[in-house]
């Protein structure tokens, strides 16, 4: 429908629409008009950018010279994709023999190729010429590819080189046989818990290497995670963001969509074409984007990737994104304001501890998430071998019923003895207790008081309290760190923290974030569990308490208990 003959909304009204300040009826009316009106669409594009205005553009027909990857809601300041027609210069390239087209998207075309001399399969991503028209951008891109090439990690698709064939610039990457996690879920449905956690944990390990090199991906999602037939997960598209960033943001050093953010931009580099800066851009994909990344991409750091990784885990476990309904703006606002549907709405085999891990990865506040990808990987480790709930056969049900009848015939005494034996076998075993005469490892700000210890905090601190040598037999079980806590004027959360040390593997932790204390409270009992599968035998457990703000807490009645794993773990 062509709306150009109708009355056009004024600039002020379009501005209010872009900022989400209109009521639903008026917003719908303007949205319908703009969707079919090239004049108002272009006017909306030319308005000064608010932090969320760029995402509104995705809801309408794109203006000239703006392309979009076909399977995402990513905004790219690029020309339309070149399509699968191979440039003549590339067809006759002296080093690479083109074998097949692997795919097309907003960035350009990806070819499967063979290195003629080394006889090695590679992937060539030919970058759209709309992104390589500025020589300064191309030079910066080559340097960024060199930086990305340092990310030699088994969970990152390796970038080998950046080259040129005539006017076509292309990236030479490791060729990976496999399928994306998005396609895997499309084909198989939600993944088993252990498989989903393993995939996300591998991706976190790759992000940790990038983090150590000062890099942020900005577009973690199932489409950018490739799983090989051997089960290895690799992150795609590190090394492309500087190209799009410079082409679309005039040299601001912001990395959009698929790729990389380097915080060491050279301020002497020439800016890209000013005409492209007017388009604005949204860095990332709305379905998986952290709230702070949508609000201010400059302020987003590796914790935004951790949030996106949490959204990816949610998708792998449920088969849908955290907020599948609505426009791009609706989704971004949901990431900022709402909680997604609980995992329990989709399936009943999710361990409660995994739900807490996911909630922390997707916390709205970056300060409350895991602070590094390695921390997230450690938190997911206990769930890599989650066993499905056992299937009870009809024969077993018949046998159980017969056994119950026998118990009734034998008499109440036999039944009582059996029940006692069952409860005793499933009960807790206390293998360490710590009393008021034990000496804490950290003495700074800690005094004995009220049958325990009083801890003063003038700022956020993690207090190392005690270390316990783990006895033999503590495996294939749940270890529980339990204590009583009391708070006085605590600003911020306080909770228990347990670190389990595994020989030759380092430390893994559990934090009692589900039930923290704050403010002023009387004595309350708190605990945090750690799940050990068969063969996992820590040799040392460290017992800490964390105070994220200021105030005073007391802790007493500390114990370590061993109990069976939750049903279905």
Q: At 464, phi and psi to the nearest 5?
A: -80, 115
CA 234 to CA 228: how far, in whole Å?
A: 8
| Catalytic (active site) residue 219 | yes
Cα-atom radius of gyration of the chain, to the nearest Å? 28
Say which DSSP state 302 is in.
H
Kindly state the tokens that stand for 181. Answer: 């996690």
CA 223 to CA 308: how far, in whole Å?
A: 12
DSSP bridge partners of 559: 433, 482
Say which DSSP state 87 is in.
P
CA 328 to CA 368: how far, in whole Å?
A: 25
Secondary structure class of 55 (helix, strand, coil): helix
Kindly state the tokens that stand for 565. Answer: 């794993």
> What are the residues whose beta carbons fall under 8 Å from the beta carbon of 89, sequence distance 6 or more?
165, 166, 167, 168
| Catalytic position from the list 219, 237, 261, 363 | 219
CA 322 to CA 362: how far, in whole Å?
A: 10
Secondary structure class of 250 (helix, strand, coil): coil
Tell me the Ramachandran region of residue 34: left when phi exceeds 0, alpha when psi lies from -120 to 50, beta otherwise.
alpha
Helices 302-318, 373-380: crossing angle, 10 deg rounding: 30
DSSP bridge partners of 467: 542
What is the helix (H) or strand (E) element at residue 227, kind and residue range?
Answer: strand 225-227
Q: At 228, phi and psi to the nearest 5?
A: -85, 165
Other CB atoms within a 10 A radius of the CB of residue 357 amount to 24
Catalytic machinery residues: 219
């Amino acid at each position: 429908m062509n709306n150009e003959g109708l009355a056009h909304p004024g600039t002020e009204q379009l501005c209010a629409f872009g900022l989400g300040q209109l009521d639903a009826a008026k917003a719908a009316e303007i949205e319908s008009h703009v969707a079919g009106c090239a004049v108002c669409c272009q006017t909306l594009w030319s308005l000064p950018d608010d932090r969320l205005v760029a995402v509104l553009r995705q809801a309408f027909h794109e203006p000239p010279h703006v392309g979009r990857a076909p399977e995402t809601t990513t905004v790219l300041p690029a020309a339309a994709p070149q399509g699968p027609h191979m440039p003549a210069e590339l067809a006759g390239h002296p080093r690479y023999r083109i074998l097949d087209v692997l795919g097309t998207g907003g960035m350009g075309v990806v070819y499967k190729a063979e290195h003629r001399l080394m006889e090695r399969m590679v992937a060539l991503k030919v970058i759209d010429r709309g992104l390589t028209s500025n020589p300064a951008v191309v030079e910066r891109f080559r340097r960024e590819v060199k930086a990305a090439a340092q990310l030699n990690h088994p969970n990152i698709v390796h970038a080998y080189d950046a080259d040129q064939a005539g006017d076509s610039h292309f990236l030479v990457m490791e060729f990976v046989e496999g399928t994306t996690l998005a396609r895997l879920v499309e084909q198989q449905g939600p993944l088993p818990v252990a498989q989903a956690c393993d995939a996300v944990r591998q991706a976190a390990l790759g992000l940790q290497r990038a983090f150590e090199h000062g890099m942020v991906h900005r577009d973690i999602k199932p489409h950018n995670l490739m799983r090989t037939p051997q089960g290895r997960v690799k992150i795609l598209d590190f090394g492309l963001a500087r190209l799009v960033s410079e082409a679309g943001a005039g040299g601001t050093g912001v990395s959009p969509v698929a790729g990389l953010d380097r915080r060491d931009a050279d301020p002497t580099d020439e800016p890209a074409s000013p005409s492209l800066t007017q388009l604005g851009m949204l860095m990332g994909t709305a379905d998986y984007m952290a709230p702070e990344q949508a609000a201010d991409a400059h302020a987003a750091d590796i914790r935004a990737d951790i949030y996106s990784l949490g959204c990816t885990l949610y998708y792998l476990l449920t088969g849908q994104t955290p907020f599948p309904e609505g426009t791009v703006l609706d989704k971004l606002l949901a990431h900022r304001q709402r909680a997604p549907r609980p995992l329990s709405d989709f399936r009943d085999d999710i361990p409660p501890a995994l739900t807490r891990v996911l909630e922390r990865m997707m916390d709205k506040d970056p300060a409350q998430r895991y602070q590094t990808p390695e921390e997230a990987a450690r938190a997911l480790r206990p769930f890599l071998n989650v066993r499905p709930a056992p299937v009870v056969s009809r024969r077993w049900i018949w046998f159980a019923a017969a056994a119950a009848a026998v118990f009734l015939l034998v008499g109440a005494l036999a039944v009582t003895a059996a029940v006692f034996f069952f409860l005793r076998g499933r009960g807790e075993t206390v293998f360490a207790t710590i009393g008021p005469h034990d000496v804490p490892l950290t003495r700074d700000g800690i005094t004995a008081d009220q049958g325990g210890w009083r801890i003063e905090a003038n700022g956020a601190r993690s207090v190392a309290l005690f270390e316990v040598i783990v006895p033999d037999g503590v495996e294939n079980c749940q270890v529980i760190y339990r204590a009583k806590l009391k708070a006085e004027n605590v600003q911020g959360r306080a909770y228990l923290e347990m670190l389990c040390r595994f020989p030759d593997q380092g430390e893994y932790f559990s934090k009692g974030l589900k039930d923290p204390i704050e403010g002023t409270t009387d004595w309350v009992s708190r605990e945090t569990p750690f799940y050990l599968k068969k063969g996992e035998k820590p040799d040392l457990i460290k017992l800490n308490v964390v105070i994220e703000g200021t105030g005073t807490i007391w802790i007493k009645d500390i114990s370590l208990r061993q109990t069976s794993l939750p049903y279905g773990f």
